[in-house]
Structure 1
């Protein structure tokens, strides 16, 4: 099943090209759309919702053409915008019920669904307070609730952790993961914070300057590398020197050493060197690629 697909999708503005011949396909699950601010993430979502006309190329959501079936797409897709869009004089319940009614739910069903999703996002006790007095974290939760209230097949979440403190980001990421894992709703979530997407996504699409750099399963981004990270309490320089004498390739990286694994014997050399030098080993772990490494590579198109 394909959630969304684009073919040579381009969107140009008078002074900038936001999307440049973007071709990508996204399947079910939690997919991260990552790129720096201005990379074209929000523009892509607006096109997928039928809110912005492409300059050229094609795009589909759940098999529906964004040019001709925008209203139908919006009925089955939830959208959490990046910007602050909540009316300050309404309560979370009033607003979420209104959004449910706008999506076609009858009044009773809308109130029941609103109560359910506000409980899910952790706002049940605060649901009757006017949103003008909400914290940033509470407002983000309301925006997530209204995106879910009509039981969509897919939700588009645009920078959902913006403005949140570390605890708030962790809680929001846990909610997003639950949407995909427990509710069976596919998620497209944008972020410029790479580490966040590594924690919650099944698949990641990386764009830069409106162009596709890479689209891969998260496991392919974080695959093991041919290096081992070593950290000792004291004696890092001595350990590096001993390993170099043994023919190992060693690079200092702050408080750690990166040791290239040339053969299984490298692990034996590490163990013996730490033991012979009577060092206190803090960390020994297999090196892994990270999403940010993609930005150091040539574009994969």
Structure 2
């Protein structure tokens, strides 16, 4: 059963602004990256999955449930970490996470125990009795993650979990999310516009743009090799490009980096490049087959005629 299943899902705000348009997709279990530029419709999809919005058209199912008709059951099985700061500054973290556990239906004693355990998992056990208002941005993000985890959900929805963090904080947060997905056995959907970071931790990706689906696939298939070789040399790129072109190869040059097109059967291309580099007495830094990048999906997209959020 898919984590999230949509069929011709559409969402328009005030009948004017299109957030999602005829979106049909299945999000399977694992650590899934929901990627797209700001305004692509990622947050809208999460809000629809939580039953916070009613779709304009089509349908959405979360763990086989209707988020509107079965909202209480969905929220009992799903944890949500919002993008923006929404924490009460005067509460201590332990009290807040315990309160969120009680809201999720846990008895008082179990809620306190789960809150302490969850704050330990996110690295805030020693700081759990401090007021949230005195926390750093990274600590606040961890509190938001803890309240989403405290009721042991089947699915975790994280909206821009690295928002506002410095590079070290982003790495730590992504490592924590990866551990939750691999060691805790909880499926995670990570919503982000930072493609390079998300690729580090996800097993699959769903890429959307302007409310429409670009591609949904495993990460390995999205970043598979293409039919280009990358050749990087210290100097003499123009001479090498001329030599390879004279040898019958399709070559493109950008500064000191050459890209050479080849087919699966063209094993001799490697030998031609090697020999040309040696003959010209050049310093070879890199010779490798180029991989597709997730960012390639978003390049050269046509401008939309309507506004999107």
**Which of the five TM-score ranges fits, normalised by the shorter chain?**
over 0.9
How far apart, CA to CA, are the structure 1 residues paired with 2:243 and 2:277?
9
- Equivalent residues of 1:50, 1:71 under 8 A apart: no
Shift, 1:157, TM fit: 0.3
Aligned to 2:9: 9
User: Which position in structure 1 is the counterpart of 2:306?
Assistant: none
Q: 1:253 — aligned with what?
A: 254
What is the Cα-based RMSD across aligned positions, in Å? 1.6
**Structure 2 partner of 1:286:** 289
Compute the TM-score of the two structures, normalised by the length of structure 2.
Answer: 0.92
Is 1:269 aligned with 2:276? no
Q: Deviations over 1:99-139 (max 9, x none)?
A: 11111112222222222221221222222211111111111
Worse-matched range after superposition: 289-298 or 58-67: 289-298
Query: 1:160 aligns to what?
Result: 161
Aligned to 1:222: 223
Q: Does the CA contact (< 8 Å) of 1:9 and 1:57 recur in 2?
A: yes
Contact 2:32 / 2:189 at 8 angstroms: preserved in 1?
A: yes
Which residue in 2 is equivalent to 1:125? 126
Distance of 2:123 and 2:168 partners within structure 1: 14
Shift of 1:60: 0.6
1:268-301 per-position Cα deviation (integer Å, ceiling 9, x unaligned): 11111222222222222210001122224789xx
1:107-122 residue pairs with structure 2 within 5 A?
107-122=108-123
Q: 1:254 to 1:16 in 2, by over 3 A?
A: farther
Whether the 8 Å CA contact 1:222–1:288 is kept in 2: the answer is yes
Structure 2 residue aligned with 1:46: 47
Residues 1:193 and 2:165 aligned together: no
SS at match of 2:220: helix
Aligned to 2:96: 95
Distance (Å, rounded) in 1 between the aligned partners of 2:235 and 2:145: 48
- What is the SS of the residue equivalent to 1:199? coil
**Residues 254 and 187 of structure 1: is their aligned pair in 2 closer, same or farther, counting only changes over 3 Å?**
farther
Give the corresponding residue for 1:171: 172
Whether contact under 8 Å (1:136, 1:164) holds in the other structure is yes
Q: Report the secondary structure of 2:83's partner residue.
A: coil
How far, CA to CA, are the matches of 1:27 and 1:297 in structure 2? Answer: 29
1:47 Cα deviation from its structure 2 partner: 0.8
Number of the residue aligned with 2:77: 76
For residues 21 and 143 of structure 2, what CA distance do their matches in structure 1 show? 33
Hey, what's the Cα distance between the residues in 1 that align with 2:230 and 2:55? 46
C-alpha separation in 1, matches of 2:255 and 2:235: 13
- Between the aligned partners of 2:301 and 2:92, the Cα distance in structure 1 is 49
State the partner residue of 1:234: 235
CA contact (8 A) 2:237 2:255 kept: no
Contact preservation (8 Å) 1:53, 1:67: yes
SS of structure 2 residue aligned to 1:293: helix
Structure 1 unpaired stretches of 5+:
none
1:64 to partner: Cα distance: 0.5
Unpaired runs of 5+ residues, structure 2, are 303-309
Q: C-alpha displacement at 1:240, in angstroms?
A: 1.8
8 Å Cα contact 1:115-1:124 kept in structure 2: yes
> Structure 2 vs 1, CA of residues 253 and 184 (structure 1 numbering), >3 Å: closer, same or farther?
farther
What TM-score does the superposition give when structure 1 sets the normalisation length? Answer: 0.95
